Every structure is written in C-alpha cells, then in structure tokens.
Amino acid sequence: MLLPMNRIKSTCRQKNGAFTDQIVPIDIEEVYVDDNGKSKRNPILLIETKDQELIQFGSIGKLRPVFANNGSVTAGNSSQTSDGAAVF
C-alpha cells in the first residue's frame, strides 16, 4: 500500500502549498493542421499532476500489467507521459 499512501501524502502537501516553488506551470502551443488543411494553434497550460485527487486508490491494485502478463508495471505505478517528455 505504499503507492496509495505516497499519492495521498503528496496530494495533500501539494494542496497545502508545500511544492509551490518546485511546480511551475508551463505554457506551450500545440500546432496542427485540421481536416481542411488550415493550421490551428491551441494554447496549453501544463501543471504537474493536478488530478491526483481523482484517483480511486482501491482500484489501483486491480490494474493489469502493461508490458508482460506476469509483470509488475501498471498504469497506477508508472510515470505519466509528461514525466518522460521532461527529458526532452
């Protein structure tokens, strides 16, 4: 039960402002071409793990492994895409 307790603690601390100087919103612009061939721009504001409180902790243990049938990596204990994107 380390994962749920860790997420609960970090969510509470984040709500209380413990990480205010460490979590910085990032403004980016998504550019794509729509079906009519016109370029579209969408401003996006990214904020680190703002929806952790939506997690239902009882269901995390029921998630299936992602890479191997008997593996241990699930959507509940792996990094989100934005963590990997931060490398670039």
Give the pair of three-digit tokens for residue 37.
């061939």
The answer to whether residue 87 sits within a structural domain is: no
What is the per-residue pLDDT across 59-81, written as a single tens digit (0 to 9) for each?
A: 777 888 888 888 888 877 777 66
Across the range 7-16, mean pLDDT stands at 80
What is the per-residue pLDDT across 19-72, written as a single tens digit (0 to 9) for each?
A: 888 877 777 777 778 888 877 776 666 565 545 555 666 677 788 888 888 888
**pLDDT higher than threshold 80 for residue 7:** no
The answer to whether residue 86 sits within a structural domain is: no
Instruction: Determine the distance from the C-alpha atom of residue 67 to the mean position of all C-alpha atoms in its chain, rounded to a whole number.
Output: 19
Q: What is the structure's pLDDT at 10?
A: 78
The answer to whether residue 85 sits within a structural domain is: no
At 69 the three-state DSSP class reads: coil
- The predicted model scores a pTM of 0.38
The answer to whether residue 74 sits within a structural domain is: yes
The answer to whether residue 64 sits within a structural domain is: yes
Residue 73: C-alpha distances to residues 10, 19, 67, 84 (Å):
21, 27, 7, 15
Q: How many domains does the chain have?
A: 1
**pLDDT higher than threshold 80 for residue 16:** yes
CB 14 within 8 A of CB 6: no
